Structure 1
């Protein structure tokens, strides 16, 4: 049973050594350990604050990026709409110009056809009149070789003039 109950001297020296160790630890180790713990605690708090700040900054940047994307989409839609309107306007102007040019070409062709027709008619008339004169000259030359035929013809002409 001696092992279970310690002697008074042993308890005394153990207590003195514990108090000396406690004094030495309090004097030399306790303050640095506490300051290290406080420094570690402040570092953790700073890191948490920095993480929260970074989280807020990321949320702000995300929101800003979404706003920029929305604005860029709106600008893209406006640009596409303007481009479509410009394309439609250019196509409409080209169609209108093509119709005007086509109308001018058709009008010029009609005028040209009318001019060619008039020239052809004039030429036909000239040829017909020249042929008629040639035929009349030949007929008259043959008919009027005889004096009595000439007088009969002049008489017929005078009858026709009086009737008209």
Structure 2
């Protein structure tokens, strides 16, 4: 057989001894730091995942808080708009009521003023009619009573018409 294909016992022995020596040195000096680094890396990854989960939960909480605040703000806006609308309606209604009352008061004042002016005009017309009647009667009486006989006839007619009892 070919010596390259079949190793000798001595070569095999030294390969096993070298392998065990390298294995011992690696386990003594390399495996512990490598395993320690792997454990630290695994722990860092676990910490990062747990922090990411916490951040995710915190973000959900913040979103819920933001949504709640937005809903409260919307409700407050709606309440303020409703109050403003109600106040505006009340103001308009109050102004309308005051305008109606003022209009009614002015109409009543105008009616009273017209009635007073009407009464004053009627009184003035009556006074004028009475004055004119007296003036006309005076002129008629003066004309009829220019002679003494007409005066006596008038006095006689008055005496007949007047009851003396």
TM tier, smaller? 0.7 to 0.9
What is the total number of aligned residue pairs between the two structures? 162
What SS does the aligned partner of 1:145 have?
Answer: coil
The equivalent of 1:135 in structure 2 is 136
Q: Partner of 2:64 in structure 1?
A: 63
Tell me which residue corresponds to 1:37. 38
User: What is the CA deviation profile of residues 1-32 of structure 1, one whole-angstrom value per residue up to 9, with x for unaligned ones?
Assistant: 62432333433333333233223322222111
Matched with 1:51 is 52
- Equivalent residue runs for 1:1-164 within 5 Å: 2=2, 3-162=4-163
What is the distance in 2 between the residues matched to 1:57 and 1:147? 133
Instruction: Return 145-154 or 8-17, whichever deviates more.
Output: 8-17
Normalising by structure 1, what TM-score? Answer: 0.84
Aligned equivalents of 1:37 and 1:122: distance in 2? Answer: 124
Deviation, structure 1 residue 108: 1.0
Change (3 A) 1:147 1:31: same
1:145 is displaced (CA, Å) by 0.6
Q: How far apart in 1 are the matches of 2:115 and 2:160?
A: 42
Q: Quote the Cα distance in structure 2 between the aligned partners of 1:17 and 1:156.
A: 182
Root mean square deviation of aligned Cα: 2.1
5+ residue gaps, structure 2: none
List alignment gaps of at least 5 residues for structure 1.
Answer: none
Cα deviation, residue 156, structure 1:
3.1
